[in-house]
Amino acid sequence: MRRTTLTLPAAALSGTLLLTACGSGAEDGGEATLRFLSLAWQKQSVEANKRLVEEWNEANPDVRVEYVQGSWDNVNDQLTTGFEAGDPPDIIHNDSPALADFASRGYLADLTDLLPGDVKEDIRPAAWESATYQGQIVGAPFLQESQVFIADRELLEKAGVRIPTPDKPWTWDEFAEASRELTDGDTYGVGWPLGNSVNRVLNLSLNYGGTFFEVDEEGNATAEVGAAEREVLERIHDQIYVDETASPKTIGMAGSDLLPGFFAGDYAMVQAGVFARQQVEEQAPDDFEWVLIPPLVGETAEQGATSQTLSVAAQSTDPEAAAEFVAYFVGAQNQVDLALGDWLLPTSKEAASAPELNTEEHGWDVASASADDLVMAPYLQVNGYDEWKNRVAQAALDEYFNDQIDIDELSERLESEGNEVLERYNY
């Protein structure tokens, strides 16, 4: 769910984080100030975040929230600095893959008893799982994404390819056949953005039950790559090198890098997170018609999902008030506005039923339906996942998708090199 944005200079962000010691408590009936680190970056999303802060401050004059702008590009390094110095923001916007590491070091407050029951009931259970660490709720999940495909409608219709719907999606086999039908001359059937492929592959592999990790009762994790984990990997690899229906030029690209080629007809479909609809809508030529392809089905349509979350620093001077703001922020109507701002999926069941999120315009009906198959990404419970991903998995997958190693060597490296990393994090 993390996207590349303009980087806020480290000095600027750390200076903001270290401005005061984790908010300021009210003394003698005075005003308390809580700092809210927001990572919103799209114009509409930033406006929604700031509006919610303003509305909170108007309704709660004794507990003022100060909006602090952060950046996805360096937030975890800057938070680590703030935590270690004893003065992080009170309220922290992040994504669920980062929570386990901070929670394991005691930096995040347990929200289990601080959030009201109606909020906990309204948010989907699978979303709560993504923000729970060792039985403690350490973040309130409010936005998620699914993995979809965006297709050139004209090319689909020209090739006579059935446009799938949430009620009748493509299987992976049907997707492979559609890709063959759409490959014509200089046009590939699909472009896979594989520059940062780890999370994408792990989330999609749940279609076949692939989890990549086993975690025991003590929380110790081992990397395991068997037939289920190989399924999606081999299907993508085969599209590039066997069927030749996937463009090899996109192997090193990030999602947005594919869009110029997509608009130019280099590939009929692009794989993307559901939020990419906004970039397509804003950047496509006026005469370009696109359609959202629902998630594919293997043995199931399940996908691993991460969440954008709000957490409360354990060092906050007023964790109860901070949790009240969190509960307000992730309320159903607010989630509608936040989802529209980021073109993502709300975790609130009530918000998901909003008419604005179920219209055919911009593919919202297909996008919202995809939320039903989101389950917790298993790697969220793995201590050391980030190091496994960055030191082992990404390099190995790059070699595999560039056809420099085969699936057996890839599997062996993910396991053996990966377990050398994970062993250091096990108890």
Q: Does position 386 have pLDDT exceeding 50, yes or no?
A: yes
Q: Which tens digit of pLDDT belongs to each residue from 309-338?
A: 999 999 999 999 999 999 999 999 999 999
Q: Which tens digit of pLDDT belongs to each residue from 280-309?
A: 999 999 999 999 999 999 999 999 988 999
pLDDT score recorded for residue 88: 97
pLDDT score recorded for residue 13: 33
Token pair in block for residue 82? 């703030």
Q: Does position 71 have pLDDT exceeding 50, yes or no?
A: yes
Higher local confidence (pLDDT), 254 or 268: 268
Task: Name which of 65, 64, 107, 110 is nearest 86 in CA terms.
Answer: 107
pLDDT score recorded for residue 17: 36
Mean pLDDT, residues 8-33: 47
pLDDT score recorded for residue 23: 60
Higher local confidence (pLDDT), 383 or 152: 152
Q: Does position 426 have pLDDT exceeding 90, yes or no?
A: no
CA distance 271 to 225: 23
Rounded to two decimals, the pTM is: 0.88
Q: Does position 15 have pLDDT exceeding 50, yes or no?
A: no
Q: Which tens digit of pLDDT belongs to each residue from 101-154?
A: 899 899 999 999 999 999 999 999 999 999 998 899 999 999 999 999 999 999
Using CA of residue 307, residue 330, residue 110, residue 368, what is the dihedral sign?
A: negative
- The structure tokens 């001359």 sit at 185
List the strands of the sheet with 140-144, edge to edge. 63-69, 32-38, 91-95, 307-312, 140-144, 345-346
Burial of 89 (0-12, 13-18, 19+ CB in 10 A): buried
Q: Is 162 helix (H, G, I), strand (E, B) or coil?
A: coil
- In 267-315, alpha helices (H): 276-283
Task: Delineate the domains of the chain, giving CATH numbers in brackets.
Answer: 10-144+306-352 (3.40.190.10), 147-304+380-423 (3.40.190.10)
Contact 22, 322 (CB under 8 A): no
